[in-house]
Amino acid sequence: MKVLVVEDESPLRELLAGSLASAGYVVDCAENGERADFLGQTETYDAAILDLGLPEVDGLTVLRHWREAGVRIPVLILTARGSWHEKVLGIDGGADDYMSKPFRMEEVLARLRALIRRATGQLVPELQCGPVSLDPRTSRVTCNGAPVKLTAHEFRVLSYLMHHRGRVVSQGELTEHIYAQDFDRDSNTVEVFIGRLRRKLGSTFIETVRGMGYRIEVNS
pTM: 0.84
**Tens of pLDDT, residues 116-166:** 999 988 878 899 999 999 999 999 999 999 999 999 999 999 999 999 999
Q: What residues does each domain of the chain span?
A: 2-119, 127-215
Question: Which percentage of the chain shows pLDDT scores above 90?
Answer: 75
- Axis-axis angle for helices 171-178, 152-163 (nearest 10): 120
Please give the pLDDT value at position 125. 84
Which amino acid is located at 82 in the chain? G
Question: Which percentage of the chain shows pLDDT scores above 70?
Answer: 95
**HSE on the CB side for 148, CA within 13 Å?**
23
- 10 Å CB burial of residue 37 (0-12, 13-18, 19+) is buried
Beta-bridge partners for 98: 77
Parallel, antiparallel, or unpaired for β 146-147 and 207-209?
A: unpaired
Sign of CA dihedral 210, 216, 218, 220: positive
**Tens of pLDDT, residues 26-73:** 999 999 999 999 999 999 999 999 999 899 999 999 999 999 999 999
Under 8 Å between Cβ of 136 and 182: no
- From the candidate CATH numbers 3.30.70.260, 3.40.1410.10, 3.50.30.50, 1.10.10.10, the one assigned to the domain spanning 127-215: 1.10.10.10
**DSSP character at residue 120:** T
Please give the pLDDT value at position 86. 76
Please give the pLDDT value at position 66. 96
Start-to-end Cα distance in the chain: 21
Residue of 106 and 100 predicted with greater confidence: 106
Q: Taking Cα atoms as reference points, which of 49, 55, 60 lies closest to residue 86?
A: 60
What is the second-level CATH architecture of the domain 2-119? 3-Layer(aba) Sandwich (3.40)
**Tens of pLDDT, residues 200-219:** 999 999 999 998 999 998 77
Under 8 Å between Cβ of 134 and 165: no
**Tens of pLDDT, residues 191-201:** 999 999 999 99
